[in-house]
Amino acid sequence: MEKKTILLVEDDGVLRDLIKEALEMVYKVLAASSYSEAMKHLNNGIDLALIDYSLIPCRIRTGSR
């Protein structure tokens, strides 16, 4: 059975590595350190995204334009 894919977006390198290491036992993990880097992974068939809330641009979080 093919592993599900998780996109992990976290700017703290230590935290990102710890989470990635724990998840890789069960999932394929694509890691990104920024919102713009994460956008490059969207064509890779993501099943779940774990995103550091503070990395999402303000206009998306608030719904403003």
CATH fold label, 5-62:
Rossmann fold (3.40.50)
| Span 10-56, pLDDT tens digits | 999 999 999 999 999 999 999 999 888 988 998 889 999 998 877 66
Q: Within 13 Å and on the Cβ side, how many CA atoms surround 56? A: 12
- Domain extent listing, the chain: 5-62
Listed residue (14, 46, 13, 53) closest to 30, CA to CA: 46
The model's pTM: 0.80
Q: What pLDDT sits at residue 59?
A: 52
Strands (E), the chain: 5-9, 28-32, 48-51
Q: What pLDDT sits at residue 3?
A: 94
Listed residue (52, 23, 58, 24) closest to 37, CA to CA: 52
